[in-house]
């Protein structure tokens, strides 16, 4: 059985979605978070969401490059020029 082809896109998408859910879930408690000095929780969610979006794009580009390399014809063997002789 061949190994699973894991490129990380789905994993990063799920993580990013969880950061977005956490941000939305904390929004109703903005005042409480501000009063208790825990407003940084919202900033942490925002940072996780932003870095996740960057990660999704990075993983997609990496997957695209890998698929292009797999589809490209193999390089010629021998690699050198023949001498006229």
The pTM for the full model equals: 0.76
3-class SS of residue 17: helix
Residue extents of the structural domains in the chain:
28-68
* Residue 37 DSSP symbol: T
Tens-digit pLDDT profile for residues 64-81? 998 898 888 877 776 666
| Residue-level pLDDT at 84 | 64
Q: Please compute, for residue 73, the number of CA atoms within 13 A of its CA located in the half-sphere on the CB side.
A: 3
- Counting residues of the chain whose pLDDT is more than 90, the rounded percentage is 67
């Amino acid at each position: 059985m061949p190994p699973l082809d894991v490129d990380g896109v789905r994993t990063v998408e799920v993580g990013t979605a969880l950061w977005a859910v956490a941000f939305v879930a904390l929004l109703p408690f903005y005042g409480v978070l501000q009063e208790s000095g825990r407003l940084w929780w919202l900033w942490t969610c925002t940072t996780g969401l932003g870095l996740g979006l960057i990660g999704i794009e990075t993983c997609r580009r990496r997957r695209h490059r890998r698929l292009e390399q797999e589809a490209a014809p193999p390089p010629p063997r021998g690699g050198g020029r023949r001498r006229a002789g």
